[in-house]
Amino acid sequence: MSADAARLAEWRTRYPVLGELEAKARGRIPAFLFDYLQGGTGEELSCRRNIDALRSVEIVPRYGIDLSTTDTAAELFGRRYAAPLAISPIGMDGAIWPGASQLLAAAAREAGIGYMMSSMAADSIERVSTVAGERFWFQLYGFAANDHATSFDLIDRAREAGARVLAVTLDIPAPARRVRDMRNGIAMPMRITPAMAVAAVMRPQWLAAVARAGMPRFGNFAHYCRQGAGKAEVDAFVAAGRPGAGVTWEVLARFRDAWPHAMVVKGVMHPGDAEKAVALGLDGVIVSNHGGRQFDPAPAPIDVLPAIRSAVGAEPTILIDGGFMSGTDVLKALALGANGVMAGRAFMLGLAALGEDGARHVIATLMEELRIGLAQTGARTVAGARELAVRHPGAWKSEDFRAAETGSKDASGK
């Protein structure tokens, strides 16, 4: 057995449940970064709601079935992947664990799953795309300044780098109040406080990783600053660009015209918004409440998934994120209408807890659990999962959504 295989076998024994990585991650990265990774907005009710909603879904198993053709493979956007799974975009991933962008991209390529890079990652499109290869997807935060000049340039760079899928994030019309970050002094532009410095010194493994990978910064935006610009200058450029703001349906239509490949919108929670996306010619949507980081009263994505699938029909691709920490969670989403699942926190907990092995361990765990779930239920395949008997107590019905479109009334209600 190779050294890599031996380590993965060790992690499988020591951390068979991905949630068990949380305690180890807490002890290896600075406290303010652990809070950044795990925190949400407001009272963090939506973070807990995501997990509780997934746990409440029940699937009835079937037995006595020939399992010789059990297969986790899935087709997403016209391409075959080893599983209906992709790594979610993660802002400032390289601060949580240095070098994260390339580690995640390499693990996805090795496993045959998708990797979606964030605009706000700590590496550049050009560097990471060479690692991810054909598994490279790109997530765009709109930059409203200068009529989205930066947005369109990022689209061009992603296209030239060979990205297969573009996802435009829709759910950041205004900055959220992420209470843990507020308490820790995390803001844009970022300033290192004495408390942060002390917290970093207490995590020698993280500091050693920083020494190897370099100080994290927004890797995609040094491109727009003077040569040799430091972190503070890059941060100032990002802040001035109003990341995430100004993405209207009209702007999305312009992005669609500029992008020649598969395109989805991320952050959809209402069937009406999913229908608008499809009407614009998008290939699908990502059902997401931003991991509970934007609007605390938002329902869990899994609870609105069936109504969104009903609204758009069978053809558009629906991906979903929000609290996915096991392969059985993935199976539940497939049974309720998703084509695939995206996970972010699980992968960053893996890196924070286990370093370079972490992403590979998370992928191996998710795929093993999904394979067992397909066998245990008799579904056998991703297509078969859609035929399972499911009880979903938290599901929103189509009639639960208000018919009136947002913005159809003025502030007085008229």
Residues annotated as part of the active site: 290
Q: Which helix (H) or strand (E) holds 350?
A: helix 345-354
CA 34 – CA 180 distance, rounded (Å): 10
- List the structure tokens of 233: 């200058």
Residues 356, 255: Cα–Cα separation, whole Å: 35
Is 191 within 8 Å of 185 (Cβ atoms)?
yes
Phi and psi of 345, rounded to 5°? -60, -40
Query: Phi and psi of 119, rounded to 5°?
Result: -55, -35
Question: How far apart are the C-alpha atoms of 127 and 413, rounded to whole Å?
Answer: 50
Is the bond leading into 61 cis (omega within 30 degrees of zero)?
Answer: no
Compute the CA torsion angle 36, 38, 41, 46 (nearest 10 deg). Answer: 170
Q: HSE of 311 in the Cβ direction (CA atoms, 13 Å)?
A: 28
For tokens 């507020």, what's the residue?
A: 182
Instruction: Report the candidate in 55, 39, 8, 77 with the shortest Cα–Cα distance to residue 316.
Output: 77
Q: How far apart are CA 54 and CA 329, in angstroms?
A: 6
Q: What is the DSSP letter of 340?
A: E
Q: Provide the 8-state DSSP code for 143.
A: B
Spatial distance between the Cα atoms of 137 and 355, rounded to a whole number of angstroms = 23
| CB-facing half-sphere around the CA of 240: CA atoms within 13 A | 12
CA distance 160 to 324: 32
